[in-house]
Amino acid sequence: MLLLLNFLAFLAVTGYAVYLFVQLVYSRYLFVKLGKKVDFEPNLKERINAVLVNVFGQRKLFKDKKSGLMHLVLFYGFFIIQVGLVEIIIKGFIRGYEFPFGGAYKYFSLLQEWTVFLMLCAMVYAFYRRYIEKLKRLQLKRDAKAAFVIIALITLTIAILLTLGFEKVMLGQNPDFSHAPFSGVITAAFSGIGKAAGTALFYLFWWLHLLTVLSFMVFVPQSKQAHELFAMFNIFFKKVGPVGKLRKIDFEDDGVEEFGVGKIENFTRQQLIDLYACAECGRCTNMCPASVTGKTLSPMHLIVKMRDHLTETGASITSRSPWMPSFVSGTSALAPSLTAGLAAQETASTVEMPNLIGDVITEEELWACTTCRNCEDQCPVANEHVDKIIDLRRYLVMTEGSMPNEATRYFQNIERQSNPWGINRKERIKWREERDDINVPTVNEVKEFEYLFWVGSMGSFDKRSQKIVQSFAKIMNTAGISFAILGNEERNSGDTARRMGNEFLFQQLCHDNIANFQAYGVRKIVTIDPHAYNTFKHEYPEFGLEAEVYHHTELIWKWIQEGRIKPVKEVNEAIAYHDSCYLGRYNNIYDIPRQILKSVPGVKILEMERNKENAMCCGAGGGRMWIEETQGKRINVERVEQALDLSPTMIGSNCPYCLTMLTDGTKAKEAEDQVRTRDIAEIVESSLAG
Amino acid sequence: MSKKVLVFVESKDGKLRNVSFEALTVAKQLAGGGEVIAALFGTGATEFVQEVSQYGSNKVYVLEDEVLVTYTTDGYTQALCQVIEDVQAEVILMGHTAIGKDVAPRVAARFGAGLASDCIGADLENGDIVFTRPIYAGKAFQKKVFNQGKVFATLRPNNFELKENPVQAEVVSFQPVIKDLRTIVKEIVRKTTGGVDLSEAKVIISGGRGVKSKDGFQPLQELAEVLGGAVGASRGACDADFCDYALQIGQTGKVVTPDLYIACGISGAIQHLAGMSNSKVIVAINKDPEAPIFQVADYGIVGDLFEVVPLLTEEFKKVLVLS
Ligand SMILES: Cc1cc2nc3c(=O)[nH]c(=O)nc-3n(C[C@H](O)[C@H](O)[C@H](O)COP(=O)(O)OP(=O)(O)OC[C@H]3O[C@@H](n4cnc5c(N)ncnc54)[C@H](O)[C@@H]3O)c2cc1C
Ligand code: SF4
Ligand code: SF4
């Protein structure tokens, strides 16, 4: 009779929990579906590989080794204990039930015991990291939900061991330390209490264990733990192709009412899965140059705020309550305030929804991003922050026409003179006249050329960057390379315009440039600007560019290996080398510049603490170069301080924007007399004979 | 084909703005014999009636309302809309001033009409009003004609010849209904940038990191006073806290085009040049002969600014006393 009652109670509770769980997940599925449909490019191999590496291999998590190990235990432990959970549930109805594994059962039992124990340790460690060690990134968002996860999982693991331990007491069996080393301790400790007490305690913990599992299940979709459900799909459905490549806007499509994203539903579905996949781990914000220097932007909060906004908006559009059961969420901390109200009222139409831009995310946050991708590189669930920020900027720039004054000035200057400063476009070519030991023909002055040398606006007009292009021209002359420049026909590459959200201007420039490349039969392009390099290489092909694209460091290294150029003069410098974002995280080029520096006699390379894929941005990307930085500390100053910690004699870089930022940073630190700033091309040129 | 033309008349520091007289002159011409109505806002508006009627307005609407003493977007928009309704104006003109730029598009939008902004010409051609406005920073001109609705235009100051045309004006005292103000101006605090406004200055003496300290700006200030100019700065100088960011000239600061720009201890980074390279005459003072600023300078002085600048001040003083 008692057993039957127990069974009925089990069915009722479990049935209700499963019902809630399905409702909750289904609601979120519907919310994501509010997003725009995008064509799914199969690329199954790439996708499955991403899932294997990042889900089952947990690769990104191991950027933080301690947390990575902890998570690995929980991740695999989760699957392993599922099997054990089923067995324990059956044990509640059939006394002393064991899976019929025959002789192998001992090992199954051992595996379960150890898994549970390791998970318990992992959770205790998680508690330690969050509340005692107070790891910075885990303090970014403090709420009861994070505590609930830790408490629930610690309760669960302990309840499992207690249930198993008291089962043996109930059955009057002796502890089996060799196959149940942990629950055995409990059996041994309580063997004297008698079978009846053992039975009562067995059922007590059996229920505790069951209720913990079920509440946790219902809790998962309503919290950051939703990543357990969504992360894998997110990684699978993530857009394929070059990282950080932006989505093209089709301006021919008359159906488009707004450009960019001004309403959460105007993101694509694939972008919206990101939001629920976020585990609130804070790794992104921890590395974000804007957050680190005290700007209001924090990539984690960006995602989390949009997630909660999607839930609210979705609830209002679909009239589904996202917080359940309502007797908990109506009163507790489960639901953010607005939707808690919604759940209680069950009427959505009366509540005015906040605006995505302005109320949920401020314009200030959006303009603070340098598009450095450090956040994306860190994110274990493959979230993409940058394309969302740019979609929102697109809305501001192209639909609302709302942007910082400097941005307006920038766009106007590019439109009129095709350079950021509005200098007369006829002066673009003048840089080549300033050194008479270099020979730089235009495409009209030679019949044939192998490389088109894309000088870029910085290289053409900025006095400091001119020195880089002059050095590179000299290197090409020495190596006997046939090349030509477009001269005054060169325009701006459009990278910055695109990243500032002016897709329209970008596409105009892109079409003009491609037409120019085609007119002159360009087949190979080389540039000193990683931004132009990236957009030519990964974004222009979509608009019809067919050319090989090189960054100058790639070719310099090739020519050194081929013996065309030989760095022979000693350059006695200790160089702190700064990886630019667009060569590094966008294009994975870390070793080539270092190889080049190593081949220069006398050079000693100093590695900053944040190097290669963790390198901190100089602060110039994504249009930040053109907008005054008034909030918090200057990013370039922070980066230069990191370099100065190594006491270098020189800071080396591979990008004219970085060089400007780093130079300004050394001036701000009054270090410009002791520490010079140089591009790789300049360092190599100074080492050539003659 | 006569038209009813309304002119929004602006005052500043207790005086009517010149551009408002320009607008009245234009209004008289565009009205083609029709009525020219002037609208004066704020308490004390009545005292300007006489002045306004000198430029041919037959009717003056006076809105003596406390709320309109200081400019607020909301208040002025509501009041102007009501005047337009009451007058049944067909053409509405005002100066392309800070207030004009703010209020004109709003009011035009409320009437579902277009706006020709920053006009430098307004003529009658075959009964149509043709507005001329510069585009691409004055590299080209655009002519605009309205084909329906009310005609709204703002006029660029100092572009129209004044023509007096004294008439006897009828004064209408008008009480606007202004409600739901979202902003109330409590106090106006003026930022003192020391004398002449940077963006309007004919002479700018600018300092960079070479100035070394706050006090280092003193010689520059003196030279500016002698020449009746303003003091500007590079971002380097602002960052080093030698001066206020309000003085920053360049890519992310102010863009200036004075007749004379004297750069002292500024290296000439392109970010700085972007804000001043269109100055008529550029003089650079720098101790480093290689400094890029010399490439854009018309006159370069290689030397220590703390020696050169006081010398210049002395010399200018002498010359100016003589002349
Ligand atoms: C995003 C961004 C935006 C920027 N926006 C702007 C901007 O809007 N405006 C701007 O100005 N800069 C801007 N900059 C900064 C710009 O790159 C330069 O760092 C800055 O203009 C340098 O200022 P400076 O010439 O005063 O200092 P420096 O480059 O250090 O030059 C000081 C000069 O003073 C000379 N000097 C020193 N002592 C003396 C002396 N006793 N007598 C004579 N000469 C002397 C030196 O030879 C040197 O040439 C920006 C930079 C970035 C990254
Ligand atoms: S791209 Fe860089 S600046 Fe932008 S949010 Fe990510 S980490 Fe921050
Ligand atoms: S977006 Fe990614 S890195 Fe950032 S908090 Fe969420 S899961 Fe962590």
Q: What is the DSSP string of A584-627?
A: TTTT---HHHHHHHHHSTT-EEE--SS-GGGPPP-S-GGGGGGS
pLDDT of residue B190: 65
Which long-range contacts (C-beta less than 8 Å, at least 24 apart) are formed by A175-178?
A178/A106, A178/A110
> Is the C-beta atom of A288 inside 6 A of ligand 2?
yes
How far is the C-alpha of A270 from the C-alpha of A33, rounded, in Å? 9
Residue contact A461–B270, C-beta within 8 A: yes
- pLDDT-derived band of residue B126, with 50, 70 and 90 as boundaries? confident
Predicted confidence at residue A258, as pLDDT, reads 84
Q: Which residue has the higher pLDDT, A305 or A241?
A: A305
End-to-end CA distance of chain B: 55
For residues B118 and B100, what is the distance between their CA atoms, to the nearest angstrom? 10
Is residue B202 located within the same domain as residue B131?
no
**B251 and A CB contact within 8 Å:** yes
**Percentages of chain A per state (helix, strand, coil), in multiples of 5:** 60, 5, 35
* pLDDT (mean) for B301-314: 95
What is the structure's pLDDT at B39? 94
d(CA A211, CA A222): 17
Is the CATH number 3.30.2400 carried by domain A259-330+347-405? no
Q: Which of A244, A275, A539, A245 is nearest to A374 (CA)?
A: A244
Q: How far is CA A585 from the centre of its chain?
A: 11
pLDDT at A35 over 90: yes
Count of domains for chain B:
2
Per-residue pLDDT band for B191 (boundaries 50, 70, 90) equals low
Q: Is the model's pLDDT at A538 over the cut of 60?
A: yes
B255 and A667 within 8 Å at the Cβ level: the answer is no
Residues B163 and B220 in one domain: no
Q: Which residues of B touch A420 (CB under 8 A)?
A: 251, 274
Tell me the per-residue pLDDT of A244-284, one tens digit each, with 9 for 90 and over: 999 999 888 877 778 999 999 999 999 999 999 999 999 99
Average pLDDT over residues A576-580: 97
Any domain includes B116: yes
The CATH number linked to B108 is 3.40.50.620
Rg of chain B taking only CA atoms, in angstroms: 24
Q: Which chain A residues are within 8 Å of B277, Cβ to Cβ?
A: 423
Asked if residue A681 lies in contact with residue A471, where contact means CB atoms within 8 angstroms, the answer is yes
Helix (H) or strand (E) run with residue B232 in it: strand B230-233
Closest CA to A367 of A609, A624, A681: A624
What CA–CA distance (Å, rounded) separates B221 from A505? 42
Query: Quick one: which of A229, A608, A590, A623 has its CA closest to A407?
Result: A623
CB of A543 within 8 A of CB of A660? no
pLDDT confidence of B65, banded at 50, 70, 90?
confident
Q: Which of the four pLDDT bands, split at 50, 70 and 90, describes residue A331? A: very low
Identify the CA nearest to A596 among candidates A485, A472, A452. A472
Point out which residues pair with A676 in neighbouring strands: A650
**Nearest-angstrom CA–CA distance, B163 and B21:** 9
Same domain flag for B43 and B153: yes
3-class secondary structure, B190: coil
Q: What sign for the dihedral angle of Cα A538, A540, A543, A548?
A: negative
Residue B227, CB-side half-sphere exposure with 13 Å CA sphere? 26
Each residue's pLDDT tens digit, A616-664: 999 999 999 999 999 999 999 999 999 999 999 999 999 999 999 999 9
A442 CA to middle of ligand 2, Å?
Answer: 38
When CB atoms are compared, the residue of A406, A462, A668 closest to B252 is A406
Q: Which of residues B112, B140, B173 is at a domain's end?
A: B173
Share of chain A above pLDDT 90, in %: 83
Name the minimum distance, in Å, from the CA of B292 to any CA of chain A: 7
For residue B141, the model assigns a pLDDT of 87
- Provide, as residue numbers in chain B, all residues whose Cβ is less than 8 Å from the Cβ of A435: none
In which order are the strands placed within the sheet that holds A604-606?
A: A604-606, A574-577, A650-653, A676-679
Average pLDDT value for residue range B143-154:
93
Report pLDDT digits (tens) over B203-232: 999 999 999 999 999 999 999 999 989 999
pLDDT of amino acid A128? 94
- Angstrom CA distances, B190 to A228, A564, B244, stand at 57, 64, 14
pLDDT tens profile A588-603 = 999 999 999 999 999 9
Cα A282 to middle of ligand 3, angstroms = 6
Tell me: pLDDT of A18 over 90: yes
Burial A616-628 (b: 16+ CB within 10 A, else e): bbbbbbbbbbbbb
Q: Is B115 in the same domain as B263?
A: no
Q: Is the pLDDT of residue A86 over 70?
A: yes
Mean pLDDT, rounded, for B45-52: 87
B135 touches chain A (CB under 8 A): no
**Residue ranges of chain A that CATH labels 1.10.1060:** 259-330+347-405
Q: Which domain holds residue B240?
A: 198-322
A394 CA to centre of ligand 2 in angstroms:
17
**pLDDT greater than 80 at residue A549:** yes
Q: Do A416 and B137 touch (CB under 8 A)?
A: yes
The reply to whether B265 falls in a domain is yes
pLDDT of residue B179: 87
What whole-number distance in Å separates Cα of residue A402 and Cα of residue A363? 9
The two three-digit tokens of residue A572, written as one number: 């006695």
Picking from B149, B110, B111, the residue whose alpha carbon sits closest to that of residue B129 is B149
Query: How far apart are the CA of B109 and the nearest CA of chain A, in angstroms?
Result: 16
Domain at A562-687, CATH from 3.40.50, 1.10.10, 3.40.720, 3.30.300: 3.40.50
Ligand 3: nearest atom to the Cα of A375: 3
- Name the packing angle between helices A386-394 and A269-277 (round to 10°): 130
Please check whether residue B167 lies inside any domain of the structure.
Answer: yes
Residue A45 gets which letter from DSSP? H
Could you tell me which residues come within 8 angstroms of residue A159 by beta carbon, excluding any fewer than 6 positions away? A205, A208, A209, A212
- At A329 the pLDDT is 57
Asked whether residue B186 is assigned to any structural domain, the reply reads no
The letter for the amino acid at A17 is: A
Q: What angle do CA A14, A16, A22 make, to 5 degrees?
A: 100
In a domain, B184, yes or no: no
* Three-state SS at B36: strand
The confidence score (pLDDT) of residue A334 equals 52
Indicate the pTM of the whole model.
Answer: 0.81
Rounded Cα gap, residues A390 and B103, in angstroms: 32
Minimal C-alpha gap between B270 and chain A (Å)? 6
- Residue with structure tokens 């003009």? A512
Look at residue B246 and tell me if it is in a domain: yes
**Residue B221 and residue B100 share a domain:** no
Residues of chain A with CATH 3.40.50.1860: 418-557
Cα(B37)–Cα(B18) distance, rounded to whole angstroms? 17
A371, A614, A634, best to mutate for ligand 2 pocket (most atoms within 8 Å of CB): A371
Kindly determine whether residue A421 and residue B274, on different chains, have CB atoms separated by under 8 Å. yes
pLDDT of the residue at A333: 46
Q: Is B171 helix (H, G, I), strand (E, B) or coil?
A: strand
Query: Checking DSSP bridges between strand A524-527 and strand A451-454, what pairing results, if any?
Result: parallel
Instruction: Return the pLDDT at A241.
Output: 86
CA B207 to ligand 1: nearest atom: 26
In this prediction, residues B24-31 reach a mean pLDDT of 93
Length of chain B: 323
pLDDT at A349 > cutoff 80: no
Q: Is residue B113 part of a domain?
A: yes
Two structure tokens written together for A148: 């609930």
The span from the CA of B125 to the CA of B145, in Å, is 10
Is the confidence at residue B143, as pLDDT, over 70? Answer: yes
User: Which tens digit of pLDDT belongs to each residue from A42-69?
Assistant: 888 989 999 999 899 898 999 999 999 9
Query: 3-class DSSP state for residue B199?
Result: helix
Element of type H or E holding B237: helix B235-239
Q: Which residues pair with B124 in a beta bridge?
A: B129
- 3-state secondary structure at position B119: strand
Average pLDDT value over all residues in chain A: 92
Tell me, yes or no, whether B178 lies in a domain: no
Domain A418-557: top CATH class: alpha beta
Give the residue from B135, B199, B252 with the most A CB atoms within 10 Å of its CB, the best one to mutate: B252
Question: Nearest residue CA, atom 8 of ligand 2?
Answer: A288
Distance of CA A660 to the CA centre of its chain: 26
Ligand 3 site, CB within 6 A: A 278-284, 299-300, 303, 378-381, 383
Location of structure tokens 């976020």: A278
Of B193 and B189, which is predicted with more confidence? Answer: B189
| pLDDT at residue number A209 | 95
Which residue reads 């910055």 in tokens?
A496
Q: Looking at the CA of residue A227, tell me the nearest atom of ligand 3.
A: 7
Share of chain B above pLDDT 90, in %: 61
pLDDT exceeds cutoff 60 at B128: yes
CATH code, B226 = 3.40.50.1220
Task: With a cut of 50, say whether residue B235 has pLDDT above it.
Answer: yes
Whose tokens are 């055995």? That residue is A184
CB A163 within 8 A of CB A187: no
DSSP label of A131:
I
The radius of gyration of chain A's CA atoms, rounded to the nearest angstrom, is 30
Q: What is the mean pLDDT of chain B?
A: 90
**A96-110 pLDDT, tens digit each:** 899 999 889 999 999
> In the predicted model, is pLDDT for residue B136 greater than 90?
no
Largest CA distance in chain B: 68
Q: How far apart are CA A610 and CA A624, in angstroms?
A: 21
Per-residue tokens: A153: 């999982």
The SS3 assignment for B133 reads: strand
Written as six digits, the tokens of B86 are 């009451």
Mutation target vs A (from B235, B248, B270; most A CBs, 10 A cutoff)? B270
Reply yes or no on whether the pLDDT at A604 is more than 80: yes
Q: How far, CA to CA in Å, does A214 sit from each of A20, A85, A275, A660?
A: 10, 12, 24, 57
Which residues does residue A472 pair with via DSSP β-bridges, in sequence order? none
Of the candidate ranges A316-320, A342-346, B176-180, the one whose mean pLDDT is the lowest = A342-346
Is any atom of ligand 2 closer than 6 Å to the C-beta of A371?
yes
Q: Which residue is it, tokens 């007096």?
A: B164
CATH architecture group of domain A2-236: Up-down Bundle (1.20)
Q: Which residue has the higher pLDDT, A663 or A331?
A: A663
Q: Please report which confidence band the pLDDT of residue A400 belongs to, taking 50, 70 and 90 as the band edges.
A: confident
Establish if B43 touches chain A: CB-CB under 8 angstroms.
Answer: no
Where residue A410 falls among pLDDT bands split at 50, 70, 90? very high
- Condensed to tens digits (0 to 9), the pLDDT of residues A473-504 reads 999 999 999 999 999 999 999 999 999 999 99
Q: What's residue A256's pLDDT?
A: 77
Do residues A626 and A655 make contact, with C-beta atoms less than 8 angstroms apart?
no
Question: Which residues, in sequence order, are CB contacts of A127 under 8 Å at separation 6+?
Answer: A150, A154
DSSP string, A499-547: HTT-HHHHHHHHHHHHHHHHHTT--EEEES-HHHHHIIIIIGGGGT---
Tokens of A602: 């006398």
pLDDT of residue A203: 94
